[in-house]
Structure formats: structure tokens, C-alpha cells
Amino acid sequence: GPELIIADEPTTALDPTTRVQITELLRDLTAETGMALLLISHDLATLQTVSDRIAVMYAGRVVEVGPTGRIMHSSLHPYTRGLLACHPSRIAIGTRLPTIEGSVPAPERRPSGCAFRDRCSMAMETCAQSRPEMLSVAEGHWAACPVAASRRTS
């Protein structure tokens, strides 16, 4: 009877049928027992079907957090938007899959300020000066980005 299950990439490299079975098992376990599930994954489809809230991390820091539907459909942080834009389910067949230019900085070589700024097309001077704070952008939705904060929604 654990109160929390931590599942790190539980569906990675699984065939679609097994992926669905694991997802359903996790969803049923949490519903039946009331336990919490911390799911660590790059699998956006799984996150969307299993989670209530999503926290997006970049270079070891949370950059956006909010309800699953809001993150999946109204994300504001440039990294989250780029990550979602790269997902195959959002690309028309025959269209080239977009990428996020550059690469994640090594922990010992993170730039000052926002770690994503060297890859961000919206980076401003302030992004180099200090690490952005998590700012409320909507009810229950936060993002660590001054550009995202300027787009606050209700």
C-alpha cells in the first residue's frame, strides 16, 4: 500500500499494445488506491492520458508546470512549446519533423541566467542576467520565462 509510486520512463521502448496496458495499469492503480503517481517520461501521449498535472524540466530545472490540458494545449514557455511542436502526432504526414536547434548544455557549462536562452528565439537581455523565476501565468499554471509571463492568460 504505497502512498506514492515513482515510475521513470515506464513505457520507453515498448510496443504500442504493451504501452497501453502499462498506462491503463498505472491509471487504474491510482484510481483504485488513491496513491499518487510521479511519472517521469518523454512520452507525451502517456503523460496526457495518465497525469493531472505536468512539470516540464530543462537542464535540471522546472521551466513550466500546470494542469495537463493547459500544458498540452496552451503552453507558454519556449522550451515546452518547442518540445510539443516536435511531437510526431502534431505534424502532418509527409512534413519534416521540426527540431529545437542546439543541445542541452552540460551541467558544468550552463550559461548564466536561463539555461535555455542560447536555444531560444525569444531570448532577451534579461535572460542572460539572471535565472528566471517561476511566475503565475494563469490559475494553477506557472512558467519560468519573462516572455511567457507577458502572455498571461486567465
Between 89 and 36, residue with greater pLDDT: 36
For the chain, give the percent of residues with pLDDT over 70.
Answer: 96
Amino acid at 77: H
DSSP string, 37-56: EEEE-S-HHHHHHH-SEEEE
Between 147 and 127, residue with greater pLDDT: 127
Residue range 63-102, pLDDT digits in tens: 999 999 999 999 999 999 998 888 776 677 887 888 888 8
Mean pLDDT of 123-148: 91
DSSP string, 97-115: PP--SS-PPPGGGPPSS-T
Residue 53 clears pLDDT 80, i.e. is over it: yes
Instruction: Encode burial over 16-51: b for 16+ CB neighbours within 10 A, e otherwise.
Output: eeebeebbeebeeebeeeeeebebebebbbbbbebb
Q: Whole-angstrom Cα distance, residue 63 to residue 76?
A: 10
Residue 6 clears pLDDT 90, i.e. is over it: yes
Residue 150 clears pLDDT 70, i.e. is over it: yes
Residue for cell digits 499554471? 141
Indicate the pTM of the whole model. Answer: 0.86
Residue 36 clears pLDDT 70, i.e. is over it: yes
Beta-carbon neighbour count of residue 74 at 10 Å?
Answer: 15
